[in-house]
Structure 1
Amino acid sequence: MGHSQAEKAATRERVLRIASRRIRVDGVDRPGVAELMNEAGLTHGGFYKHFSSRDDLITQAADFALTEGTAKMERSAHRNEQDARAGLIDAYLAKQHRDGPATGCALVTLGAAAARGEQHVKQAYENQVRTYLDLIAGLDGDRDNAGSEAMLTLSAMVGAVLISRAVADKAFSDELLETVAEQLVHRTNQDDVRADS
């Protein structure tokens, strides 16, 4: 790749990264092209060198936001070497995740947009859900109910973060995160005891 092509690719990725953070905070309808390009240190006129339209940018930013989470989920799972599932649950349901929507899981912030969005956005969202389910189920090994437990775990985690961001009472928000994390980890430990008996 030539210098100018590499530079163009890096610029495009910078715009996508900025847009992906903004749509996680503000939703897909709010950020305008001019403000996104300005935030990236570029002129509005350079936009069409990278994207065919605002919809193209938002669709690609949603893809970027969704797939960016896979590496974070994998890292979270490996923080706790003794119990990777508990490590993932604790990291996902952390107050830092709740308080950082710009870099948090896009399943939480883009769910409503995906539900109302075009087929491509729905498909990207579904692909990410399936990726996370596979990752979580893989942490349960060969257990017969690994798939259904993964669905329950992911749904509970996404829902808990969404609700914890939406409520007004900070102490209640903290309690939601802590209680769901405790219950998911406790459920896993109970399943482990039953599997060993």
Structure 2
Amino acid sequence: MGHSQADKAASRERVLRIASRKVRAEGVTRPGIAELMQEAGLTHGGFYKHFASRDDLIAQAATRALTEGSAKMENAARKNEQEPATGLIDAYLAQRHRDAPATGCALVTLGADAGRGDRQLKDAYEKQVRAYLDLIAGMDDDAEEARAEAMLTLSALVGAMLMSRAVADPAFSDELLGTVADRLKRRRPRAAEPAA
């Protein structure tokens, strides 16, 4: 790849990375081209060298935002090898996650947008929901109940995070996170104690 092609690819990647963060934090309707290009250190006029349209950029950014969450969820589950669901619940319902939507789970921010969105956004959202359900269900020894429990767990995680970001009272926001985390962990079967 020539120098100018490498620069073009790096610029495109920078715009896409910024747009992905904006989409996670603000949804798909908010970020404007001029704002994104300025933050990327590029001119507004250069936008069409990288993307066919704003809709093209936003669709790619939303897809990226959704898929980037998988690695974070898997890492959270690995933090507690004995009880991976507990690690995932603690990481997801953390104040740090609540307070950093630009780097958090895009399922929270993009749910309403996907519900109103085009097929591409719906497909990307569904793909991520299915991936999270598979991850969570894989932590359960009872295969028959695993999918239903995964649906309940994921719904509670996303819903609690959404509400904790939406309420005005910080103490109530913390209570939502803490209570839902506690109740979800109580539902999980405890790991067997090693024989002494």
- Give TM class, smaller chain: over 0.9
Q: 2:73 aligned with 1:73, yes or no?
A: yes
Matched to 1:135, the amino acid is: L
Shift of 1:23: 1.8
Shift of 1:148: 0.7
Closer, same or farther in 2 for the Cα pair 1:137/1:5, shift >3 Å? Answer: farther
Which residue is equivalent to 2:82?
82
CA distance in structure 1 between the aligned counterparts of 2:101 and 2:188, rounded to whole angstroms: 27
Q: How many residues align?
A: 192
Which residue is equivalent to 2:32?
32
Matched to 2:173, the amino acid is: S
Which residue is equivalent to 1:188?
188
Which residue is equivalent to 2:91?
91
CA distance in structure 2 between the aligned counterparts of 1:103 and 1:171, rounded to whole angstroms: 23
Alignment gaps of 5+ in structure 1: none
* Equivalent residue runs for 1:8-19 within 5 Å: 8-19=8-19
CA distance in structure 2 between the aligned counterparts of 1:80 and 1:5, rounded to whole angstroms: 44
CA distance in structure 2 between the aligned counterparts of 1:64 and 1:12, rounded to whole angstroms: 13
Q: 2:165 aligned with 1:155, yes or no?
A: no
CA distance in structure 2 between the aligned counterparts of 1:141 and 1:33, rounded to whole angstroms: 47
- TM-score for both structures, normalised by structure 1: 0.92
3-state secondary structure, aligned to 2:138: helix
3-state secondary structure, aligned to 1:145: helix
CA distance in structure 2 between the aligned counterparts of 1:187 and 1:168, rounded to whole angstroms: 29
Which residue is equivalent to 2:63?
63
Shift of 1:142: 5.1
CA distance in structure 2 between the aligned counterparts of 1:75 and 1:5, rounded to whole angstroms: 34
CA distance in structure 2 between the aligned counterparts of 1:91 and 1:102, rounded to whole angstroms: 16
Shift of 1:3: 3.9
Which residue is equivalent to 1:42?
42
Which residue is equivalent to 2:118?
118
Q: 2:7 aligned with 1:7, yes or no?
A: yes
Which residue is equivalent to 1:170?
170
Alignment gaps of 5+ in structure 2: none
Shift of 1:6: 3.4
